[in-house]
Chain A
């Protein structure tokens, strides 16, 4: 009887609900594993997938989106041991699950809190309702790899946006494993797309991309790069979320700011009575 050969895992990208290798065929060695090194073209493919998913995801009922997010939290909880084995501290996994559930709960409540009826002096109603912005490019914080990633993805997608996320380059394993969680939680393909590799390679293409509606620079540490990305983003007037401060406490209550920053407000006028 020969000895069993271990099956080693190649960590791939997450685009359109699938796990492709990088189009460039490249990978890099990090956390003692081979991880795909995404190229500009992978970023482009991810935007195409994210754009295709907007209609279905933004059109789903808020209740349904909340259920799907809650399902993702369940799957995340079920894989706790796997994340711990990858080096994510147990309390961070717990906080990530709680964070995910917290945002899931907001799915069908945000419209009441953030939208509403506007008082007008006339014979009509005037109602404002929040609407998703569209395709969001996100640079996840370098650390904490899992909680930071969940804290930027969940608030963007809960309201109906779709995202292309550049994961932490130095700790990408948690991101790829989170992708496996999302792939098994009824989340439609393309709502979350995760790119691993060098931020300097993929994010400038995303910042300049005319079909991306907003960019979240949370994880950008280099201030010169952040400025350059903001300049690129100005071309089609993307919404820009500035980088987080270095001492940001990811375990603290996140508040509503991350959700509301990626919303548009739709106001409708409606005649009253007969």
Chain B
């Protein structure tokens, strides 16, 4: 550890103290070359991954899935079924790995916790007035504490986009810090809702803001607005976590969520991770997919590779 990184580190940790320091730092980040980012993401999307590499990628992607249901119509029975699927995605094949986590609303956490206890599958809960985040801070923190108390070991919080877009970075920062404190030992995933941030520059600033405030993961979207995860946005976020680790030594995970429906999409993301931040992030502890229908496609492709015949949606559970 050199003297410069130590001093850089303490400088970064001081940023949260004043609105001006935060603004100066975030607006001092280099701008994103929009055309370049989109071109780079598109180019990496053309890689062809076949046979054994594909089989490996599929198993890794299954382990990275945060199997999600965030509907008003969720019932205890439905989330229990989903948790059972998380443990054994393909009941016909014991060699199929379990998924990374199950992600539900706080009210559904106790039912999922019963099923997942001791299995190694994490239990994530959205909190802080998901998906809009438009609630008073005390309510957001109470929401978070309730989810943790019910058994969630990962909290997916939403940032206050209203404050972020209005330029009140300190307010956003303080909310993340407070939520991190309220989550205790639970991992904190910070949802940036990139579909509402409008520009890649904002995505980069929000990523840094979330990491400076102590987020363990940065996540693209809630899945509740029309624009969800895209490859270029994920590229910008991956570059941010890479640069953040260089500056501070702390590694932060990335979770694209929403709109990732096919095995091909998932493999494109894995290629992007490998080429941008390297194999350190190719692990369920550092990269996750927020998805629901993706799992069935991964399972169908997995079945195709093991049996040689194309499978159909009739043979996997609908969720």
Residues of A within 8 A of B (CB): 44, 47, 51, 205, 208-212, 232, 235-236
Contact = CB atoms under 8 A, between A and B. Distances in A.
Contacts of A232: 309
Contacts of A205: 309-310
Contact of B314 (A44, A47, A210, A235): A210
26 contacts: A44-B310, A47-B310, A51-B312, A205-B309, A205-B310, A208-B308, A208-B309, A208-B310, A209-B309, A209-B310, A209-B312, A210-B309, A210-B310, A210-B311, A210-B312, A210-B314, A210-B315, A211-B310, A211-B311, A211-B312, A211-B313, A211-B314, A212-B312, A232-B309, A235-B309, A236-B312
The 8 A-B residue pairs with the shortest CB-CB distance in the complex, in nearest-first order: A211-B312, A208-B309, A210-B312, A209-B310, A210-B311, A44-B310, A210-B315, A210-B310
Identify the interface centre among A51, A211, A235: most chain B CB within 10 Å of its CB. Answer: A211
Nearest to A211: B312
Contacts of A211: 310-314
A211 B303 CA distance: 13
A205 B311 CA distance: 11
A211 B316 CA distance: 12
Chain B: interface size category: under 10
Contacts of B310: 44, 47, 205, 208-211
Contacts of A236: 312
Interface in B288-319: 308-315
A209 B309 CA distance: 6
A235 B303 CA distance: 14
Interface string B216-256: 00000000000000000000000000000000000000000
Nearest to A205: B310
A137 to B, nearest CB: 12
Contacts of A209: 309-310, 312
Contacts of B309: 205, 208-210, 232, 235
Nearest to A212: B312
A51 B312 CA distance: 10
Contacts of B315: 210
A133 to B, nearest CB: 13
Nearest to B315: A210
B311 to A, nearest CB: 5
A205 B309 CA distance: 7
Contacts of A208: 308-310
Nearest to A204: B309
Contacts of B312: 51, 209-212, 236
Interface string B121-146: 00000000000000000000000000
Contacts of B313: 211
Given A205-B309, A211-B311, A212-B312, 5 more contacts: A205-B310, A210-B310, A210-B314, A211-B312, A236-B312
A204 to B, nearest CB: 9
A208 B308 CA distance: 9
A12 B308 CA distance: 27
A210 B315 CA distance: 8
A49 B314 CA distance: 16
Nearest to A135: B312
A211 B296 CA distance: 14
A210 B310 CA distance: 6
A211 B312 CA distance: 4
B25 to A, nearest CB: 48
A226 B314 CA distance: 26
